Amino acid sequence: MLNLESKLIIVEGRSDKEKVKKLVNDQVEIVCTNGTLGVERLEYLIETYQMDHRDVYILVDEDNAGKKLRKQLSKELPHATHIYIDKAFREVAATPESELAVALVSSHIMINPDFL
What pLDDT is attached to residue 64?
A: 94
- 46 backbone dihedrals φ, ψ, rounded to 5°: -60, -45
CATH classification at residue 96: 3.40.1360.10
Q: Is the dihedral of CA 38, 61, 94, 51 positive or negative?
A: negative
Residue 103 in domain: yes
pTM of the model: 0.94
What pLDDT is attached to residue 6?
A: 87
Polymer length in residues for the chain = 116
DSSP run (H or E) holding 22? helix 14-23
Q: Which domain holds residue 47?
A: 7-110
pLDDT at 12 over 70: yes
Q: What is the rounded average pLDDT for all residues in the chain?
A: 94
Q: What does each C-alpha distance from 46 to 33, 58, 104 come to in angstroms?
A: 11, 13, 22
Q: What is the pLDDT of residues 25-70, one digit of tens each?
A: 999 999 999 977 899 999 999 999 999 999 999 999 999 999 999 9
What pLDDT is attached to residue 30?
A: 97
Residue 104 in domain: yes
Number of domains in the chain: 1
Residue 2 in domain: no
Residue 1 in domain: no
Listed residue (89, 39, 40, 44) closest to 31, CA to CA? 44
pLDDT at 100 over 80: yes
Residue 115 in domain: no
Q: Is the dihedral of CA 61, 87, 103, 100 positive or negative?
A: positive
Residue 116 in domain: no
pLDDT at 1 over 70: no
